[in-house]
Structure 1
Amino acid sequence: MEQRNRQSQPERRPVTPLQTDYVRAKERKEQIRQARKVRLYRRLAVFGLVVVLAFGWLTWMIVEKNNALAAKQQEKEAALAELEKLEAEGHDLKIQLDKLDDPEYIAKLARKEYLLSEEGEIIFTFPDEKKTKKDKDSKEEKKDKGDSKESTGK
């Protein structure tokens, strides 16, 4: 049986390539084709990297510009709100200026501010609410401090 197996399987010997000009030219062309293919892949990789970097840089620039635009928009809204406030204040001041041209208003203002009166007029003054609240708060604080001192002293 072993003999049959040996006879059925031919002996394997390495094949020696022919060293002719034609074979060498074919091998050289194949090497050149492979080298070109490798260079092509390298160029494509570098080009792809450049494209990805450029796309990333452009994306970053767009994001930065959008952030700057949003900040400018907020500044604009704040400036518009300030402008509106100042215009309202200017309008109020203009009305006050017009009132100051009226002698009756000036007399009324002088009586109010400087406690001046016309003949036969009696002036009553009422305490300001803000001052009374502050006085009450300060009295309560003093009372609370006094209570805490008494409780610690016992």
Structure 2
Amino acid sequence: MSASPKQTLAQLQSQYINAHQKQEEAISRKRRGLFRRLIAFTVLGLCISYIFISTLVSQSATINENVNTKAELEQKIANLQEEQVILEEEIVKLNDNEYIAKIARRDYFLSEEGEIIFKFTDESSSY
């Protein structure tokens, strides 16, 4: 009894057994098809999710960049508006003849008739 003889089983060929085998094969094919569809839809869903997430991240970065640029430009506009106000005031002052005469005396050492200009250096004014 050390070696058991190979036993071959003969299968019965009947309509019922053939129909049952075909039914099991059909169920097996449906199950394989179901798993393939599930895998395909999962892969497709992951690809679409990746595309949406990458688009969202890139748009978020672009929005943050634009917000920073907008803040810088608004600051620049505020500075330019202040400068514009100062320059408009300077224009009004430059239309005044007394102001122009004052600047000419200060910067170019021009004097009116009978006027003497004394220029003091910073060193002599500290004594």
Given the two structures, how large is their TM-score scaled by the length of structure 1?
Answer: 0.70
Alignment of 1:38-57 (within 5 A): 38-57=32-51
Deviation at 1:113, TM superposition (A): 1.9
State the partner residue of 2:98.
104
Q: Deviations over 1:17-47 (max 9, x none)?
A: 2111211111111011101100110001001
- Gaps (5+ residues) in structure 2? 123-127
How many residues are paired up?
120
Aligned to 1:61: 55
Q: Tell whether the 8 Å contact from 1:100 to 1:106 is kept in structure 2 after alignment.
A: yes
Cα distance in 2 for partners of 1:95, 1:123 equals 30
RCO comparison, higher one (Cα < 8 Å, 6+):
2
The alpha carbon displacement at 1:69 in A equals: 0.5
Report if aligned partners of 2:109, 2:117 keep a CA contact under 8 Å in 1: no
- In 2, Cα distance between equivalents of 1:89 and 1:40: 72
Query: In structure 2, what is the equivalent of residue 71 of structure 1?
Result: 65
Q: How far apart, in 2, do the equivalents of 1:124 and 1:62 lie?
A: 69
Higher-Rg structure is 1
* Matched residue, 2:22: 28
CA RMSD of aligned residues (A): 2.2
Shift of 1:121: 2.1
TM-score, structure 2 normalization: 0.84
Name structure 1 gaps, 5 residues minimum. Answer: 3-10, 128-154
Mapped to 2, the partners of 1:125 and 1:90 lie a distance apart of 34
Q: How far, CA to CA, are the matches of 1:40 and 1:17 in structure 2?
A: 31
Distance 1:122 1:65 in 2: 67
Q: Match of 2:115?
A: 120
Structure with the higher helix share, 1 or 2: 1
**1: CA distance, partners of 2:73 / 2:65:** 12
In 2: Cα distance, 1:122 partner to 1:113 partner: 12
Deviation at 1:112, TM superposition (A): 1.4
| Conserved? CA contact 2:93–2:99, under 8 Å | yes
Say whether the 8 Å CA contact 1:110–1:116 is kept in structure 2: yes
- The percent identity for this pair of structures is 25
The whole-number CA distance in structure 1 between the counterparts of 2:59 and 2:49 is 15
